[in-house]
Amino acid sequence: MSSDSGPGRRRDGELATVDRIRDAAIERFGRDGFGAGLRAIAADAGVAAGLVVHYFGSKQGLRRACDEHVLSIIRHEKTKALTDGSGSMMFAQLAEVERFAPYLLYLLRSLQAGGELAGALIEQMTADAEQYLAEGEAAGVVRPSRDRAARARYLAYQSTGGMLLWFTLHGSSGDPESFRRLFRQYVDEITPAAVELFSQGLLIDRSMLDAFLMYVPDPPAQD
Amino acid sequence: MSSDSGPGRRRDGELATVDRIRDAAIERFGRDGFGAGLRAIAADAGVAAGLVVHYFGSKQGLRRACDEHVLSIIRHEKTKALTDGSGSMMFAQLAEVERFAPYLLYLLRSLQAGGELAGALIEQMTADAEQYLAEGEAAGVVRPSRDRAARARYLAYQSTGGMLLWFTLHGSSGDPESFRRLFRQYVDEITPAAVELFSQGLLIDRSMLDAFLMYVPDPPAQD
DNA sequence: GCCCGCGTTGAACACCTGTTTAACCTGCTG
DNA sequence: CAGCAGGTTAAACAGGTGTTCAACGCGGGC
């Protein structure tokens, strides 16, 4: 398959058929969920239904190819963002959200359906969160935690799951423009509450935390 | 339909066929998702496929009936919990989680798929959260917020979405016993980090909050 | 006893699914 | 030019889907 050997473009600049099918599948799956039919995907790619299974073996094979491609894009963009810097990353990504809309929609569908990609994704998110939080601790900006890994994991699940649920209920319709608008709306809606919670917590004092630590006395092994 | 006129039991104590079909549907949908076939549901209820559409008009009608039934159960149990008291409620519910496993699984699938029930559910959860938080504020336990409604909504989305994602990735398999175990595992896994975050926040100082408030100066209208 | 209505069934329908197969067209090579 | 290989297609297949329809059994009222 050409995804292993470069971008897979032709001499005339057009994408190769295999990649065109894969991209059409990513878009369709993102729009309609993984219940979308092979014939619809094939039609989107301007191709017969038999060709997609000829290239990918089966629908499951097609999904796997989509997963791998999206994951490679994530990793690529991630390293690009890391070399960029620390602070401006989020906002730069947010500005580019429209360009990546199909992949984000596909990711949301993956999280919705579960499976390997989803698992790998939140695993990577917890790893990233743990790293960022550790840097924040070192810089004296983030409070230390009794269990860094658990906190990172908790934050990854909560933020990702909250976003997933929000988009599930606000029906993302598909086209990049409305997706960008929706994304902006989501960020505007949750940011104030998130910043407030992160800055000052929810409870007045530590009594509940202390009471809880009485019942679960030993902090998990850190080594 | 008999769901409007009482529990729908027969003289001999057996459930009426309509209710048996509905319950089987709730269980099947919870286990296999809403893609489950009518024939499988009918077989679970010990009935022919034609009968379920004869009673509910269509598959969508069946889903609506399931939604309404689950929602009515929620409201019923909710009021029971409210009359019970404030503190012990959560733990009592947690003990009974096994009894309600099919309904919880159905709810998870509803949140996963979106739709009216899911919307109504998180709407009610934000309303409840807002009430609880207001009581907490009045009791001097919970910090006041710049925007009570937004905070309640944020917390509802985050906690519900986080739980949804967790269960999606940890595959809930179906049977009540393993569901209870999974639920327990989830609570054990997130509680420490949640209590810590709620007690002391994430950031050392208010500088980020203040910086954010510079950009969004006016707190949303409260009246 | 007859008939009617209700609960219920199994077969049929039209459609859609993923997948297989045989053939086609095209361009390159010998 | 023949022939072969690769890309591509249309048709067929086996199965599953929600839904419809005609018929059946059976209890109760006239």
- In this complex, which of B142, B150, B201 lies closest to A199 when CB atoms are compared? B201
Q: Please give the Cα distance from A23 to A27 (Å, whole number).
A: 6
Is the predicted pLDDT of residue A1 greater than 80, yes or no?
A: no
Could B190 and A164 be called an inter-chain contact, meaning their C-beta atoms sit closer than 8 Å? no
Mean pLDDT, chain A, rounded, equals 87
**Three-class SS string for chain A?**
CCCCCCCCECCCCCECHHHHHHHHHHHHHHHHCCCCCHHHHHHHCCCCHHHHHHHHCCHHHHHHHHHHHHHHHHHHHHHHHHHHCCCCHHHHHHHCCCCCHHHHHHHHHHHHHCCHHHHHHHHHHHHHHHHHHHHHHHCCCECCCCCHHHHHHHHHHHHHHHHHHHHHHCCCCCCHHHHHHHHHHHHHHHHHHHHHHHHHCCECCCHHHHHHHHHCCCCCCCC
Non-local (6+) Cβ contacts of B51 within 8 A are: B17, B21, B42
The pLDDT tens digits of the residues spanning A6-53 come to: 455 555 557 899 999 999 999 999 999 999 999 999 999 999 999 999
Non-local (6+) Cβ contacts of B78 within 8 A are: B124, B128
The pLDDT tens digits of the residues spanning B146-177 come to: 999 999 999 999 999 999 999 999 987 777 78
* CB contact residues (below 8 A), chain B span 151-170, against chain A: 151, 153-155, 157-166, 168-169
| Angle of CA points B168, A105, A15, to nearest 5° | 130
**B89-B92-B98-B101 Cα dihedral, nearest 10 degrees:** -10
Q: Where residue A216 falls among pLDDT bands split at 50, 70, 90?
A: low
Mean pLDDT of A188-199: 95
pLDDT, residue A80, reads 72
Is the predicted pLDDT of residue B95 greater than 70, yes or no?
A: no
| Angle of CA points A105, A67, A75, to nearest 5° | 85
The pLDDT tens digits of the residues spanning A21-31 come to: 999 999 999 99
Mean pLDDT of A188-213: 92
Q: Write the DSSP symbol of residue B2.
A: T
Is the predicted pLDDT of residue B82 greater than 90, yes or no?
A: no
Distance spanning both ends of chain A, measured CA to CA: 43
Distance spanning both ends of chain B, measured CA to CA: 43
Is the predicted pLDDT of residue A149 greater than 70, yes or no?
A: yes
Amino acid at B202: L
Amino acid at A8: G
Residues 50-109 of A with CB under 7 A from strand D: 50-51, 54
Length of chain A: 223
Q: How large is the C-alpha radius of gyration of chain B? A: 21
pLDDT, residue A11, reads 54
Distance from CA of A56 to the nearest CA of B (A): 24
- In this complex, which of B118, B142, B212 lies closest to A203 when CB atoms are compared? B142
pLDDT, residue B1, reads 42
Chain mean position to CA A10: 30
Is the predicted pLDDT of residue B91 greater than 90, yes or no?
A: no
Evaluate whether B51 touches B17 at the Cβ level (below 8 Å). yes
Is the predicted pLDDT of residue A131 greater than 80, yes or no?
A: yes
Is the predicted pLDDT of residue B102 greater than 90, yes or no?
A: yes
Percentage of chain A beyond pLDDT 70 is: 84
pLDDT, residue B133, reads 96
pLDDT, residue B178, reads 86
Non-local (6+) Cβ contacts of A125 within 8 A are: A156, A160
Question: Which residue segments constitute the domains of chain B, with CATH numbers given?
Answer: 69-215 (1.10.357.10)
Mean pLDDT, chain B, rounded, equals 87
The pLDDT tens digits of the residues spanning B121-141 come to: 999 999 999 999 999 999 999
